Amino acid sequence: MSRLVLLRADGTTDTVDLADPPAFAKPASPLRSRVAYAAVHVVPVAWGENTPGQPAEIDWDATLAFRRHVYSWGLGVADAMDTAQRNMGLDAAATRELITRSAAVARQEGGSLVVGVNTDHVDDPVISLPAIIDAYVSQLHFAEEQGATAVIMASRHLARAATGAQDYRRVYGSVLQAAARPVILHWLGTVFDPSLAGYFGSSDWKVAADVLIEIISEHADKVAGVKMSLLNAESELAVRERLPDVVRMLTGDDFNYVNLIGGAAIGAAPPGPRSHSDALLGAFAAITPAASAAIQALDAGDPEAYLRILGPTEALSRQIFAAPTFYYKTGVAFLSWLNGHQPAFALVGGLHSARSLPHLSEIVRLANACGALEQPDLAAARWHSLLRLNGIDAP
């Protein structure tokens, strides 16, 4: 059996057995029991000027092939969101091109696509509430023109400009009125973006949740779902219980998704109309085959298989999303490279350097343990090459 070299924090090494390839099968029919989106990243041109502050140079073939990979496993694609490095290397022009190209792939594959809508094309860091509304609506209409469902992301402009809950009600109300079809609202926590402190008018999530629920209740016909990304299961469960029947909870909790998605089926929630969350997760881009297999198990009425498949992946996700959480994209791209979905371990803006080798080694260990290495021999070869490049003995 092949051995996998791992790197400890003190620079010493250890070895473990390289696991066999996971025995997951692609679904023969659409997934039924849960709606699930993988929030996907972009692959840079390996020889491009993808350095801090430079416009993104994207390897479109590899980027779009990864979206086809996600569709082939029955998941939907969430694109042009923070996973794709908006505000961290992906500029406005690249974001629009990404949405256009991703929407074309979705049509070709018959896949479900949601895309981020924000105000980040406006360069001025401080703008008025009417300007924020206009910025949101401009991106909203562009997304709708491409045939994608809009995810209304948290706006740094709004976080700066708002003086209280009434400003969030005003902006979101105006944006929702402008939507041609129902959208998804995204509540992004400060672990992902510290500049969003006090979003929805309060730093107390319980108070902020009241404002979010008020906005949704007043515009329930325009809201298809809510993506909660606070990494706090208590807050998601509390909001989930209060949603109108027509509004889905799409978990964005990369720490606690196993119980939140499993819900009543695995005894993690009481039966009822709000017995589980659906999913819109960056973690699902790192573990796409396992995520699909786990939902297939729920479709087949086998909650034990769901837990057996998805349960071990949560430790891997917690490592990828460890503090500082906003650098999780490095781990997502790292696994994409290990699994053969991109030719180089690289991110736009040079952010592949945002994690240490011991951190990446722990990702390797956990991925090996939970079946997230799709081609173990390739993953081992690529990981060992990275170790050798950094002066560490490896096969």
Per-block mean pLDDT, blocks of 10 residues, the chain (395 long): 94 97 96 98 96 94 98 98 94 96 98 98 97 98 98 98 98 98 98 97 98 97 98 98 96 98 97 95 98 98 98 98 97 98 96 97 98 98 98 94
pTM over 0.75: yes
Question: Residue written as tokens 């969350």?
Answer: 277
State how far the Cα of 85 lies from the Cα of 81, in Å rounded to an integer: 7
Residues 333/342, Cβ–Cβ less than 8 Å: yes
In order of start, what are the domains of the chain with their CATH numbers?
Answer: 32-352 (3.20.20.70)
DSSP state of 365: H
Of 222, 174, 170, the C-alpha closest to 200 is: 170
Write down the pLDDT at residue 87: 86
Question: Residue written as tokens 């390289």?
Answer: 18
